[in-house]
Amino acid sequence: MSTNSKVVAATSSTIARLSVQELSLDVRRRSLSEITPRFLQPVENGGVRLLILENISQEAVFAFRALGFHVDHYTTAMTEDELVEKIGSYHAIGIRSKTKITRRVIEAAPKLLVIGCFCIGTNQVDLPAAASAGIPVFNSPFSNSRSVAELVMAELIALSRQLFERAYELRTGIWNKQSKGCWEVRGKTLGIVGYGHIGSQLSVLAESFGLRVLFYDVINIMPLGSARQVATLTTLLAESDFVTLHVPELAETTNLISTQQLKEMKKGSYLINNARGRVVDIPALIHALASGHLAGAAIDVFPSEPGANGAPFDDQLNSWASALRDLPNVILTPHIGGSTEEAQRMIGDEVSQALARYLGYGTTLGAVNFPEVDLRAITAEQGTQLRICHVHKNQPGVLRQVNEALSPYNVEKQYSDSKGDIAYLMADIADVSRADVNKLQELIDATDANILTRFLV
């Protein structure tokens, strides 16, 4: 078998566990022996090994083990060198935001089939490198939206009331009751940069507190409630008492808020960043706070973050850390925007199901770097069918070559799609012997466009 071919294993005991939740109510009334989708197994069963890092929800870990997968679970992140040394024996990896899956890591993972990001973002993964290796990447773009939005509301009030300063003073034995510089949020203006799932939820919560809401986004979006979209970031900064950021980390958003943008903010206003660490030029922010131009800030994300709880957040990690820590009315939190029990449970459910569907059915719906392809399930009464999952270069002539290889057989169903340079084809064929499988494998592996081919039965 070609080295381009990768196999994945799962036990037959998973059939009922994965399928029943995906069936409609009317279908559930039928005999399970007739309609239960089969959780497919590879032609060559080698056992699926998963590497799970960064204290991902235990429920996700339990779910994988219930499917018969071998799971190694670590509560901390791993460095690039650690991953290169360890990842070679794993078929799947689950991470959060601290672990970086670089091209070097991917090249060291010959068995790797799929990557799960148990968080909103995927910027910690080299998505093009993963796609070119035939590895789809899944994430959970919506599950922690409410948790982040609620944290922003808490920070709005805490900043406007100097809550963290007063609480710290009292803990050190100082009674300092005062109202100077403390405000109600009612009647103030909140400027939201990025009106996606978090920004739009925050918009609704803010209006319920009596805030006026403006938002800026690179595309035109229908506002919720009385929120109003403004044409430029400059307009939003100039009119807002609070500015909160909810954008991905891209080349276009790196240092989106720097010296010039901070000057454009109202004197006495506040900045909140629960997005990504490189979106704000923090030395420039420190200057704006120290000069008194800004009245306060809340920062939950940083350009460099410790890899484990208990590790220092100091000047060796970020050269300005001590200067930022010494500023008054600045709320610093350790990337906890989505760290609620509810959010982590939903993220664990969503991403673990996406990984299991890909490993067991070949489904790529929801992949961020990959063509989204699905076929209806092979059911128990359909007998022996073979599912081909063929990742290949997006170039002319591939479908002709594959269909020529499949022409002696009855193709029950087939679907393909492409995204950029990568294409993905799924096909189910009936009445295939083991000798036929070996022949098909050789034929498809021999095509010049082949990246990765799995045969599931």
Cβ neighbours around 207 below 10 Å, total: 16
Phi, psi for residue 332 in degrees, rounded to 5: -115, 125
Tell me the H-state helices in 161-275. Answer: 163-171, 197-208, 233-239, 259-264
Q: Between 3 and 75, where is the model more confident?
A: 75
Q: Looking at residue 58, what is its pLDDT? A: 86
Cβ 457 vs Cβ 435: under 8 Å:
no
Tell me the H-state helices in 174-320. Answer: 197-208, 233-239, 259-264, 282-290
Q: What is the mean pLDDT of residues 301-324?
A: 93
Mean pLDDT check: name the lowest of 113-117, 239-243, 452-456.
Answer: 452-456
Reading the block at residue 167, the tokens are: 């609480």
Reading the block at residue 26, the tokens are: 């009317």
Q: What is the mean pLDDT of residues 271-292?
A: 97
Q: Between 380 and 85, where is the model more confident?
A: 85
HSE at residue 349, side-chain half, CA atoms within 13 A, is: 10
Is 335 an annotated catalytic residue? yes
Same-fold call for 12-142+343-456 versus 145-332: yes
Q: Which of 276, 387, 392, 454 is catalytic?
A: 276
Spatial CB neighbours of 18, under 8 Å, sequence gap ≥ 6: 37, 39, 67, 356, 357, 360
Mean pLDDT check: name the lowest of 61-70, 91-100, 118-127, 429-438.
Answer: 429-438
How, if at all, do strands 294-299 and 137-138 pair?
Answer: unpaired
Residue 9 pLDDT grade (very low, low, confident, very high; cuts 50, 70, 90):
very low
Reading the block at residue 135, the tokens are: 């590895």
DSSP assignment of 79-133 equals -HHHHHHHGGG-SEEEE-SS--B-HHHHHT-TT--EEEESSS--TTB-HHHHHHT
Model pTM score:
0.78
Q: Looking at residue 18, what is its pLDDT? A: 37
Q: What is the mean pLDDT of residues 248-253?
A: 92
Percent of the chain with pLDDT over 90: 73
> What is the domain class of 145-332 according to CATH?
alpha beta
The pLDDT tens digits for 315-325 are 999 999 999 99
Residue 169 burial class via C-beta count within 10 angstroms: exposed 0-12, middle 13-18, buried 19 and up:
middle
Residue 46 pLDDT grade (very low, low, confident, very high; cuts 50, 70, 90):
low
**Per-residue pLDDT at 73 exceeds 70:** yes
Sorted by where each begins, the domain ranges of the chain are 12-142+343-456, 145-332
CA distance 69 to 342: 25
Q: What is the mean pLDDT of residues 308-316?
A: 92
Nearest one of 361, 315, 307 to 334, comparing CA atoms? 307
> What is the domain class of 12-142+343-456 according to CATH?
alpha beta
Q: Which of 96, 197, 246, 335 is catalytic?
A: 335
Sheet holding 49-52, edge to edge: 70-73, 49-52, 92-95, 114-117, 137-138
Reading the block at residue 42, the tokens are: 């590879």
Q: Looking at residue 38, what is its pLDDT? A: 44
Q: Looking at residue 40, what is its pLDDT? A: 52
Reading the block at residue 131, the tokens are: 């796609």
Look at residue 1 and give its three-state secondary structure. Answer: coil
The pLDDT tens digits for 205-239 are 999 999 999 999 999 999 999 999 999 999 999 99
Q: Which of 305, 345, 372, 412 is catalytic?
A: 305
Backbone angle region of 383, left / alpha / beta, with phi > 0 → left and psi within -120 to 50 → alpha: left
Residue 8 pLDDT grade (very low, low, confident, very high; cuts 50, 70, 90):
very low
Is 381 an annotated catalytic residue? no
Residue 435 pLDDT grade (very low, low, confident, very high; cuts 50, 70, 90):
confident
Is 165 an annotated catalytic residue? no
In the predicted model, what is the mean pLDDT of the chain? 88
